[in-house]
């Protein structure tokens, strides 16, 4: 079972080069924390990335909410990724037919494929969405997460939808390296997917808009997921982001050590 192995052991056997590098990075940095940097100004986003950089394995962006987006923002974020040793995940949640997502991933204002190591997609359109993204992403050594479940109340991503999404991931293992999920699924035929879980908070359980927050230990230890994705728990309500990031890093890492013991 991949859940009981260390990130380092898993990295040695992983066939996707980006997933391999990501698992190595997690072990090297002792971090399974991804910060969801949902900020609308370039300056604030860069400042947050620099503050939390030492504690994270992955910076998650919603680049289309930034009012003053420009190429310099991308250049600065990629420089910070080098400086602090983290990867970048643009949480684009692609959801269209293969041909359209190819254009959305490669082109337009954001040119996501040119800078984002990891991105994600819904499987509503069927496997064409994976094929389209894969044509763009694979030659650039990018990789994809599928949204198998969501953290929000009343989500429709459950049951057969989740099961079929996992089947699709198995079919395109060279490009699909994991899931946005609320729990780890059973491994089959040497599966080693990376499970990233949003909806994580130490101090609050909901936001009044459907988001549901769980404790890092519940996510990593009880539910067997690999990465905690934390947004407002770290930068919300005027919090000291560096201090909070350290707190979440420790909570996530201790739960992981307990799991692989």
Alpha-carbon distance 117 to 5, whole Å? 24
Candidates 39, 45, 66, 230; binder of ligand 6AU (CB under 6 A) is: 230
DSSP the chain: -GGGS-HHHHHHH-SSHHHHHHHHHHHHHT--EEEEE--SSHHHHHHHHHHHGGG-SEEEE-GGG-TT--HHHHHHHHHHHHHHT-EEEEEEEE-S-HHHHHHHHHSTTT-GGGT-SEEEE--TT-THHHHHHHHHHGGGT-EEEEE-S-SSTT-S--THHHHHHHHHHHHTTTTEEEEE-SSPPPP-TT--PEEEE--B-SS-SB-SSS-B-B-HHIIIIIS--SEEEESHHHHSTT--HHHHHHHHHHHHHHHHHHHH-
Q: How far is the CB of 110 from ligand 6AU (least distance, A)?
A: 16
Do residues 241 and 42 touch, judged by C-beta distance below 8 A? no
214 appears as a binding residue in the annotation: no
Q: Residue 227 region, left (φ>0) first, then alpha (ψ -120 to 50), else beta? A: beta
Residue 240, annotated as binding a ligand: no
**Tokens read off for 104:** 């959305």
93 is catalytic: yes
Binding of ligand 6AU by 178 (CB under 6 A): no
Binding mask 137-156 for ligand 6AU (x = CB under 6 A): ----------x--xxx----
Nearer to ligand 6AU, 81 or 148 (CB): 148
Is 6 annotated in a binding site? The answer is no
Catalytic residue of the set 50, 85, 96, 191: 96
- Chosen residue from 132, 199, 224, 252 binding ligand 6AU by CB under 6 A: 199
Is 123 a binding residue for ligand 6AU by CB under 6 A? The answer is no
Q: What minimum distance in Å lies between the beta carbon of 260 and ligand 6AU?
A: 24
Annotated catalytic residue within 20, 30, 93, 173: 93
231 is in an annotated binding site: yes
The CB-of-33 to ligand 6AU minimum distance in angstroms stands at 11
Which of 39, 73, 91, 144 contacts ligand 6AU by CB under 6 A?
A: 91
The reply on whether position 233 binds ligand 6AU by CB under 6 A is yes
Residue count, binding to ligand 6AU (CB under 6 A): 18
Could you tell me which residues come within 8 angstroms of residue 258 by beta carbon, excluding any fewer than 6 positions away? 217, 221
Does residue number 180 form part of the binding site for ligand 6AU (CB under 6 A)? yes
Residue nearest ligand 6AU, Cβ-based: 231
Nearer to ligand 6AU, 29 or 122 (CB): 122
Kindly state the smallest distance separating residue 146's Cβ from ligand 6AU, in Å. Answer: 10
Rounded distance between C-alpha atoms, residue 32 and residue 250, angstroms: 9
Residues belonging to the active site:
91, 93, 96
Residues tagged in the binding site annotation for substrate: 38, 60, 151, 211, 231-232
Residues at the site binding ligand 6AU, with contacts judged by CB under 6 A:
36, 38, 62, 91, 120, 147, 150-152, 180, 198-199, 211, 229-233
């Amino acid at each position: 079972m991949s859940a009981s192995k260390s990130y380092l052991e898993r990295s040695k056997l992983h066939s996707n080069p980006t997933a391999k590098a990501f698992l190595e990075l997690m072990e090297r940095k002792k971090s399974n924390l991804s910060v969801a940097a949902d900020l609308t100004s370039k300056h604030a986003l860069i400042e947050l990335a620099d503050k939390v950089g030492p504690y994270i394995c992955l910076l998650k962006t919603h680049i289309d909410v930034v009012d003053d987006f420009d190429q310099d923002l991308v250049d600065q974020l990629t420089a910070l990724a080098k400086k602090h040793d983290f990867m970048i995940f643009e949480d684009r949640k692609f959801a269209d037919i293969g041909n359209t997502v190819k254009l959305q991933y490669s082109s337009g204002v954001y040119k996501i494929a040119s800078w984002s190591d990891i991105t994600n997609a819904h499987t509503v359109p069927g496997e064409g969405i994976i094929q389209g993204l894969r044509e763009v992403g694979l030659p650039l050594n990018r990789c994809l997460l599928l949204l198998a479940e969501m953290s929000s109340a009343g989500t429709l991503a459950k049951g057969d939808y989740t099961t079929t999404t996992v089947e699709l991931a198995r079919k395109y293992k060279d490009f699909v390296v994991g899931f946005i999920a609320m729990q780890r699924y059973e491994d089959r035929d040497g599966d080693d997917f990376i499970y990233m879980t949003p909806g994580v908070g130490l101090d609050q359980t909901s936001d009044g808009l459907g988001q549901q927050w769980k404790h890092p230990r519940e996510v990593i230890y009880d539910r067997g997921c690999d990465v905690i994705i934390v947004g407002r728990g770290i930068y919300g309500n005027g919090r000291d982001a560096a201090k909070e990031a350290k707190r979440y890093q420790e909570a996530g890492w201790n739960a992981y050590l307990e799991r692989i013991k």
